A and B are shown apart, each in its own frame.
Chain A
Amino acid sequence: MPEATETPTPMVKAERVRKHFGRVEVLKGVDLEVMPRTVMCVVGPSGSGKSTFLRCINHLEQISGGRLWVDGELVGYRQRGGKLYELKEKEVAQHRRDIGMVFQRFNLFPHMTALGNVVEAPVQVRGANRADARRRGLELLERVGLGERCDMYPSQLSGGQQQRVAIARALAMDPKLMLFDEPTSALDPELVGEVLDVMRGLAEAGMTMIVVTHEMGFAREVGDQLVFMDDGVVVEAGNPRDVINSPQHERTQAFLSKVL
């Protein structure tokens, strides 16, 4: 239960979060906390549940046990009189508006231009004025270095450019939290840097971010917190430098020796 204390409300708080698909347990009790204006990087071997956990935060996956709060509000449920009620689709959608998500495979809308992608949700979901949304969309595309390419379709952009448009698309909703699901894993090595630069800029501007990644350099430089997950649990968490330089847990050591 979240207690009213002197410390500010964590942006994300997970308590013994469990998730199973049929008989397969993917998350076996995840506890963690992300404070506002901080960056948490999540690393771990594939199949460790880190992407699933990320998808639970905006209810793309429904958790099977435990509790998960975003900005003090339960994700996917409402608690009344000691009972949990599932939220309606509309209410879930309302919560998602404030959480930006960037996917490994970009998932840009291929039938819309870069600017169309960015403008879509503010106009359709927030009911923003189209002209205002376009102006703001152009600003965001400038910010990720793609102002010149606003009229191009995703298929005409490189992977790195597509991912930067995807970041701008998420930012257009003015999220209070950004989730990144292995944002550079599908990119050619020489395009990784441009995406990480944009993310670094966001972190510096004070965005609360959770980044599932394999980029240890990014985690060390930008992350305020590093979480190592394996087999559905948080094995080790702490200051990125400490975790990377002197991992306490055997599994963390084994993983880091492979990726560093």
Chain B
Amino acid sequence: MSATSTDDEAAAEIRAVPVRHPGRWVASALVVLLSAMFVHMLVTNEAFQWGFIRDNAFSAPVLSGAKNTLILTVLAMVIGVALGIVLAVMRLSPNPVLSGGAWIYVWFFRAVPRVVLLILFGNLGVLYAQYDLGVPFDRQIADLFGLSLDGRFLSVDANTILTAFVAALLGLALSEAAYMAEIVRAGISSIDEGQTEAAQALGMSRGRLMRRIVLPQAMRVIVPPTGNETIAMVKDTALVAFVPYYELFFQLQAIGSRTFQLFPMLVAACLWYLAITSVLMVGQHFLERRFSRGTRRSTDRGNRRALLANRTKAPENGSEDA
């Protein structure tokens, strides 16, 4: 036996016997078996009442409930993200009033459970029966100087402005903003200070460098947890039943209790939420791809094309891009 090989052997492609993985086969067999048992149960167990699910999961009230779930999710997230960005920028501001205010906001809205917040907002009508827009403290000032003065120019009845929908939306959006503020702050802090300096050196104002340079890069860090938050929001809309406002789960449960077929309706709820979440995950995938531009050597097809074009144009430098 010799430690060297012939030239032919060394030059040929290696053909070795691959490592065997018996453990994988055993595990696969087990998983297949358990899955088969589960599917069997789904099909044979009468309690699922698949026919009942099919007939009721898409009934008019359920569809309008699903619509409300989606509207609440989208609006609460839009407000939450926008307000969260504002809060995060405030929090990072050198102005102590702004950063302190943002801190207190986050402190409060993260501390109070969403259910409690929603019930609270549902009962805000208790505070005032009527909401006025005008000069602040007008009556106190009037009393102080013994005048009769009314600085109010717009009055709305509490029940008109603080509908169940508004209460539900406010509860969800304001609490979401607190979480988003922390996510956005983490994203902004993750950007190298050199980026800010380079932008400043080019004469950019603070706002512009935030919008054009820092936030677009921070998005890469912000998007994945925001996807989490959005999915959590879809599910948390079920809490608005406490406002009370009706949405998907409320309607399915209502059918369930009316017909004494609660379990099938719970299964229907699972399927509905699975479907909505799956759609959102697709959206997240594309968002993540959009904001990872430039971070990998070839992130998307456009990039790769540019890369190939450059290789053919400048072959002497091709190795640098590999």
Contacts and interface: CB of A to CB of B under 8 A. Distances in A.
B35 interface: no
B206 A89 contact: yes
Contacts of B194: 103, 105, 107
Nearest to B194: A107
Interface stretch (B133-141, B182-190, B306-314): B306-314
Most chain B CB atoms below 10 A, which of A95, A103, A124:
A124
A101 interface: yes
Given A107-B197, A111-B217, A156 B202 contact: no
A112 B199 CA distance: 13
A258 B294 CA distance: 40
Given A107-B194, A149-B310, A153-B303, A101 B294 contact: no
Interface in A153-183: 153-158, 161, 166, 169-170, 173
A93 interface: yes
A148 interface: yes
Contact of B202 (A110, A111, A173): A173
A151 B200 contact: no
Given A148-B313, A151-B306, A155-B295, A58 B201 contact: yes
B54 interface: no
B198 A103 contact: yes
Contacts of A156: 297-298, 303, 306-307, 321
- Chain A interface: which size bin? 35 or more
Majority DSSP secondary structure for residues of B touching A: helix
B210 to A, nearest CB: 12
A142 to B, nearest CB: 14
Nearest to A98: B203
Contacts, number: 96
Contacts of A161: 320
A99 B201 CA distance: 7
A158 B201 contact: no
B200 A93 contact: yes
Interface string A6-31: 00000000000000000000000000
Nearest to B217: A111
B202 A154 contact: no
A239 interface: no
A154 B217 CA distance: 13
Interface string A83-102: 00000011001111101110
Contacts of A95: 203
B213 interface: yes
A90 to B, nearest CB: 7
Interface string B36-78: 0000000000000000000000000000000000000000000
Most chain B beta-carbon neighbours within 10 Å: one of A89, A93, A103 = A93
Given A60-B197, A105-B194, A111-B217, A152 B202 contact: no
30 contacts: A58-B201, A60-B197, A60-B200, A60-B201, A96-B201, A97-B203, A99-B201, A103-B194, A105-B194, A107-B195, A107-B198, A108-B198, A109-B199, A110-B295, A111-B291, A112-B294, A120-B212, A121-B202, A124-B204, A125-B203, A125-B204, A148-B310, A148-B313, A148-B314, A151-B310, A152-B307, A152-B310, A156-B307, A170-B201, A173-B203
Interface of A: 58, 60, 89-90, 93-97, 99-101, 103, 105, 107-113, 120-121, 124-125, 148-149, 151-158, 161, 166, 169-170, 173
